[in-house]
Structure 1
Amino acid sequence: MTTGTLTNAVLEFPDNRLLIDLCGEYDRNLTDIESRTGVQILRRGNQLAVHGTEETIAAATEVLQALYERLEQGRDVDPGDIDREFRMGEEAQLDDQLEMFGAGPVEIKTRKKLIEPRTDAQKAYVTALFANELAFGIGPAGTGKTYLAVAVGVNMLITGQVDKIILSRPAVEAGEKLGYLPGDMKDKVDPYMQPLYDALNDFLPGKQLARMLEEKVIEIAPLAFMRGRTLSNAFVVLDEAQNATSMQMKMFLTRLGEGSRMVITGDRTQVDLPRGVPSGLADAERLLDRIKGISFNYFTGKDVVRHPLVAAIIEAYEADIARSS
């Protein structure tokens, strides 16, 4: 419920064509901003009249102007961009990694689209991926840990910074015992690797991705297949690392070769290892957190960029854990 003295502000936008894009189809962008701030927005020619309190008008105005500037730069505006403007505005405190990268936008160019972090934690994470040879991304589901890591990998591949991408996961069942799966080795492990395929399909055209997979420029393999390899000039991602044992984690980390980058992602609350088997991710945090050149980036429920209910669900579980500990 909005409190305080109600007032009005009028914003003028010189390019009516861009204003149409700013409003969105059936004014859906304005509706989104109204629901987030509690203001009312009316369009009059090339002007937007904003009705609300001084505080809510200021918040809505800041987002509207930032989105209009984005359109002036030739970029699109979609619901994700609106979400990012609100999140980045709310999180004013930047850490040293963000300052290293500068105040401007962080962008990841891929063959199919331009990826931009939506939260400060995501921005710091992407910065760390470009700046460090070994980076950890730790936090709940839906925070973009794997998605952003794969995007950076694709960017480095298409710009020639690495020669290949290697994506890996422990082939651990999430609570259910599925028994023996039919088919050859690829058929058996592909269900575990599907999230990695999904991310790649977002960044590379289908035919190009198929060719890269066939030519082993991009490899997707279970963690067990990494033993004995030296991974040079590659961008390497270990996903769902909380399900790697301590020995598996050590084995994987020591695969790092010359000219390579390695990213480890995981969620400490979703360990599917047998009872009594310690997670290699927890051991890595404990042993490696002070080594120069290794970065640790952490996410919370506030960084979830899936459906808003996902963030609420994660926060409910986190609150329950806090009460019981």
Structure 2
Amino acid sequence: MATRRKKPKVTEKILPITESKYKLNFKHFDLTDKQKIFLQKAFDEKTKIMFIAGPAGCSKTFMSVYSALRLFNDDNDLDIFYVRTIVESADRGLGHLPGDVEEKFHPFMMPLTDKMQEILASDQIKMLTEEKIISAAPVNYLRGANWSNKLIIADESQNFTLKELVTLVTRIGKKTKMFICGDPLQSDINGKTGFRTMWQAFNNKESSDEGIHCFEFTKDDIMRSEILKFIVNKIENIPKIKNI
């Protein structure tokens, strides 16, 4: 009588859980209720783009940078890309700046550097920069880019034209999230801003269902100083500025 051939024993190979290569240590700070709501949107995996509006000092850039760093900390396959225009915020500019593109753009990265210093220790900021986990470029260098596995922070977006904002949002690829920050009261491009137009186009339930959200901070959310709340309130009531 033939004996039945025994089936080989199959054992499941259990792979060890590996820790992320980079683990950031965040400084402690208290968040407002509004900021906590912002983080819920930012961390939602369904969220693809957030348009963030609000006056100076209300934590638009801070919350975007903080969210991006937290998301990177949870998934090291992502990297962070900072975008803004090279429009100066004064009626008279400095003129020609020496150096290559990176050197010319360096002064415009100061808001990113400032926010990172509020959130992380200097050695971790240095590591993120040297490892090219965080990089930056002006908006006019985006044509042809295809962004996957990226966390995009578009700062001072009230200085983007509509064409530049269209170029920005159409770079989005798989596993990419965008934070587009703007303050309509501080546009430096003489009424050519496309930020308000994009806000109006996507501030609806249909866009929200697709993961595109419009999130607004107000002067009540200003964190920089109490006097700034008073200043912004006065500025908002200047007729010429209200009609920008």
Fold-level similarity (TM above 0.5): yes
- 1:137: which partner in 2? 52
2:149 corresponds to 1:236: no
Q: CA deviation at 1:220?
A: 1.9
Amino acid at match of 1:312: F
**CA 1:116–1:229 in structure 2 vs 1: closer, same or farther (change >3 Å)?**
farther
Question: Is the deviation greater in 206-215 or in 227-236?
Answer: 206-215
Alpha-carbon distance in 1 for matches of 2:231, 2:195:
23
Measured against aligned partners, the alpha-carbon deviations of 1:113-147 in whole angstroms (never above 9, x if no partner) come to 134422x3323222221222111110100000100
Alpha-carbon distance in 1 for matches of 2:214, 2:242:
27
Q: CA deviation at 1:322?
A: 9.8
- Which runs of at least 4 in structure 1 moved beyond 4 Å after TM superposition? 322-325
Pick aligned residue for 1:169 from 72, 84, 91: 84
* DSSP 3-state at the match of 2:237: helix
Higher relative contact order (CA 8 A, sep 6+): 2
Q: CA deviation at 1:315?
A: 0.8
Q: CA deviation at 1:324?
A: 7.3
* DSSP 3-state at the match of 2:118: helix
Alpha-carbon distance in 2 for matches of 1:168, 1:122:
22
Pick aligned residue for 2:123 from 207, 211, 234: 207
Amino acid at match of 2:223: V
Q: CA deviation at 1:161?
A: 6.3
Measured against aligned partners, the alpha-carbon deviations of 1:246-280 in whole angstroms (never above 9, x if no partner) come to 1100000011111111110000011101x35x212
Alpha-carbon distance in 1 for matches of 2:143, 2:48:
20
Measured against aligned partners, the alpha-carbon deviations of 1:184-235 in whole angstroms (never above 9, x if no partner) come to 3222111111111111222233233223222221112211222211111111
Native 8 Å contact 1:166 1:237 kept in 2 = yes
- 1:185: which partner in 2? 101
Native 8 Å contact 2:82 2:137 kept in 1 = yes
2:173 corresponds to 1:289: no
Alpha-carbon distance in 2 for matches of 1:162, 1:294:
22
2:236 corresponds to 1:318: yes
Pick aligned residue for 2:68 from 114, 135, 153: 153
2:35 corresponds to 1:122: yes
**CA 1:320–1:186 in structure 2 vs 1: closer, same or farther (change >3 Å)?**
same
**Pairwise CA RMSD of aligned residues?**
2.2
Native 8 Å contact 2:202 2:214 kept in 1 = no
**CA 1:162–1:142 in structure 2 vs 1: closer, same or farther (change >3 Å)?**
farther
Identical columns (%): 31
Q: CA deviation at 1:305?
A: 0.6
Q: CA deviation at 1:323?
A: 11
Alpha-carbon distance in 2 for matches of 1:270, 1:323:
9
**CA 1:323–1:267 in structure 2 vs 1: closer, same or farther (change >3 Å)?**
closer
More helix by proportion, 1 or 2?
A: 1
**CA 1:323–1:202 in structure 2 vs 1: closer, same or farther (change >3 Å)?**
closer
- 1:85: which partner in 2? none
* DSSP 3-state at the match of 1:262: strand
Native 8 Å contact 2:235 2:241 kept in 1 = no
- 1:220: which partner in 2? 136
Measured against aligned partners, the alpha-carbon deviations of 1:270-322 in whole angstroms (never above 9, x if no partner) come to 1101x35x212112112222212111111211110111101110011123349
> What TM-score, normalized to structure 1?
0.61
**CA 1:269–1:260 in structure 2 vs 1: closer, same or farther (change >3 Å)?**
same
Structure 1 spans left out of the alignment, 5+ residues: 1-108
- 1:252: which partner in 2? 168
- 1:306: which partner in 2? 224
* DSSP 3-state at the match of 2:96: coil
Q: CA deviation at 1:243?
A: 0.3
Alpha-carbon distance in 1 for matches of 2:178, 2:241:
36
